[in-house]
Amino acid sequence: MNYKAPLFLFNAHLETIYPSLIRRVGTVPYVRERITTPDDDFLDLDWIRQGSDRLLIISHGLEGNSTRPYVKGLARAASATGYDVLAWNFRGCSGEINRQLRFYHSGATDDLDCVIQHVKENYKYSALYLTGFSLGGNLTLKYLGERSTDPLIRKAVVFSVPLHLQSSCEKISLPGNWIYANRFLKSLKLKVMWKHQLFPELDIQVLPRIRTITQFDDTYTAPLHGYRDAAEYYHQNSSIHFIGGIQVPTLIINALNDPFLSNACFPTDVTSAHPAVRLETPSRGGHVGFAQFSKGGVYWSEDRALRFLAD
């Protein structure tokens, strides 16, 4: 199943921007549940429940949340196919700043595990399916690779994954991608300002001097989460290093024209002989794009994910 982009989305930037800014999914009937983490923080979970014994868990991307069109689109499509859906919000991404000094990050699998353990302890599902987009895809792959097989987790699908974090951050910081990098940085800096109100010891004097995501990660993400610097943070959390440990049937879909992804994010040498992991690299699609207009508002990525999960 190869993706064919609509004619008017004739380059990678349009394929990326249109689904993010123009797509309208409409109301999704989420019911919110707040859970407490082991370190006395909170995570907000947005549910669509209809009595199914199958649950699809969706992890969003950098500075995303459960209301992003790509999350709502998959949630709506999965619900229509008969799944219960759980779209969880990373720390500080649900509309309220989190309580602890730490934020979320690309390798914070402890929070994903907190969500999964909450589901297992409080709900009776016979099968769990994991999905993730971009940063959430990296998080999902790392989670699957670093933990022993959980028989309840049956399959996983991830899209637009920066499997190699350092080179992907370098790629997004190129001049041609300034629109994306600036948008992320603006949102990340605002969260640091909010966090400063709760933790005055958090230095905000350096914020105006931060020009790239790597500089932000070097100044805030790495030290706040126990890493020496951005380089160590990237190395220890790049999902490319965890693919070998994945035992659950997993599909990775990275478009070759994705403006965020470096060449290292297409590891055919690692996946070609892998017994559980399959890598698909459509020539088009952009970053978390894959728009289509022939299936009642269901995007190609959503259709592809549900087909893989049903096989």
Catalogue the active-site residues.
134, 258, 287
Q: Look up residue 254 and give its two tokens.
A: 């990275």
- SS3 at position 104: coil
Distance in angstroms (rounded) separating the CA atoms of residues 83 and 86: 10
Distance in angstroms (rounded) separating the CA atoms of residues 28 and 280: 29
CA distance readout (Å), 235 to 40, 106, 231: 28, 11, 6
Beta-sheet strand order (sheet of 84-89)? 31-36, 42-48, 84-89, 54-59, 127-133, 153-159, 250-253, 277-280
Q: Look up residue 118 and give its two tokens.
A: 């909450």
Distance in angstroms (rounded) separating the CA atoms of residues 244 and 247: 8
User: In this structure, which amino acid lies at residue 298?
Assistant: V
Q: What's the CA angle centered on 255, arms 250 and 260, to 5 degrees?
A: 105
User: In this structure, which amino acid lies at residue 121?
Assistant: E
Torsion of CA 233, 239, 244, 245, to 10 degrees: 80
Q: Is there a contact between 210 and 219 (Cβ–Cβ < 8 Å)?
A: yes
- SS3 at position 89: strand
